[in-house]
């Protein structure tokens, strides 16, 4: 394992993202992951929700079990694609009945998939800012939203992208969780634009430990995220060695977090892909062990 020199005096906070399982085997994997990550005491965990309600019941069930059977503060993702305001309200009421007090409010991908034109439901919410405003009328919730260091694929330019984030904040959002990225300079430039626009809420970097580089590249190409060539060099020669590949992946993610911490960032949202080992290896490299919120001064073990 490569050593990672950590910054001084940073009190790092983490949150985790899960997705609802699609099969009994995937459910077993998810709950094993939850059990393994719970001792790390994240600030919260979130569970994704398919656009158009495609994972409605699995998301409801997963969120309900997390709240009922674990100590984890749990947020539910919520989208408004292909749903009327009344249908969204019904879903919110179902989440509330399970104890949800925190939503990650998203517009969701167009029904035709990424790259197709988005058309709001005629009786629905126009966009994520409208959804946030609607949630404010449905109860007292903590509301997180999405942010895009490399611009949302549908935004015409950076200014329009920042304007949409500001509209979500003005509607009541209190935290932004970013799309994953691998170039910290791009994130810092984005954060400077956000702050220059008068947006003061926490903008939490989304960190994606790389489970499979080829798959990640395909996913990144659909959502407008770039994958630097340096990552090809880092993973070179590991195709036939899963252990070596995992070590490199954990090093890359930990180095990204450490560098961001040196730039003053203290909160991180990890996309776990419902797998614990790589997430744990990343956390341990930056000094966040189970049941601890360690000071990150000194060198990694």
Catalytic residue from among 17, 150, 255, 267: 17
One-letter-per-residue 3-state SS of the chain: CCCCECCCCCCCEEEEEECCCCCHHHHHHHHHHHHHHHHHCCCEEEECCCHHHCCHHHHHHHHHHHHHHCCCCEEEEEECCCCCHHHHHHHHHHHHHCCCCEEEEECCCCCCCCCCCCCCCCCCCCCHHHHHHHHHCCCCCEEEEEECCCCCCCCCCHHHHHHHHHHHHHHCCCEEEEEECCCHHHHHHHHHHHHHCCCCCCEEEEECCCCCHHHHHHHHHHHCCCCCHHHHHHHCCCCCCHHHHHHHHHHHHHHHHHHHHHCCCCEEEEECCCCCHHHHHHHHHCCCCCCCCCCCCCECC
17 counts as catalytic? yes
Q: Would you please indicate which residues are annotated as catalytic (active-site) residues?
A: 17
């Amino acid at each position: 394992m490569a050593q990672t020199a950590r910054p001084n005096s940073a009190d790092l906070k983490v949150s985790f993202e899960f997705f609802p399982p699609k099969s009994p085997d995937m459910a077993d994997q998810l709950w094993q992951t939850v059990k393994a990550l719970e001792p790390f005491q994240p600030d919260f965990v979130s569970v994704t929700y398919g656009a158009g309600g495609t994972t409605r019941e699995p998301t409801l069930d997963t969120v309900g079990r997390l709240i009922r059977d674990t100590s984890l503060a749990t947020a539910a993702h919520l989208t408004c694609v292909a749903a009327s305001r009344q249908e969204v309200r019904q879903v919110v009421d179902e989440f509330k009945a399970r104890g949800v007090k925190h939503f990650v409010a998203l517009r969701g991908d167009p029904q035709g998939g990424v790259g197709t034109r988005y058309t709001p439901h005629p009786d629905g919410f126009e966009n994520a800012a409208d959804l946030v405003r609607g949630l404010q009328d449905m109860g007292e919730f903590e509301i997180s939203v999405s942010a895009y260091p490399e611009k949302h694929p549908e935004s015409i330019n950076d200014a329009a992208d920042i304007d949409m984030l500001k509209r979500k904040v003005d509607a009541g959002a209190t935290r932004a969780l970013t799309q994953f990225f691998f170039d910290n300079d791009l994130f810092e430039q984005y954060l400077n634009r956000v702050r220059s626009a008068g947006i003061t809420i926490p903008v939490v970097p989304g960190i994606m430990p790389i489970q499979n580089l080829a798959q990640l590249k395909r996913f990144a190409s659909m959502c407008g995220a770039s994958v630097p060539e340096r990552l090809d060099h880092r993973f070179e020669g590991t195709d036939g060695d899963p252990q070596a590949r995992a070590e490199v992946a954990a090093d890359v993610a930990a180095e990204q977090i450490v560098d961001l911490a040196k730039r003053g960032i203290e909160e991180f949202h990890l996309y776990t892909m419902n797998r614990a080992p790589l997430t744990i290896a990343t956390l341990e490299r930056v000094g966040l062990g189970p049941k601890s919120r360690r000071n990150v001064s000194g060198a990694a073990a």
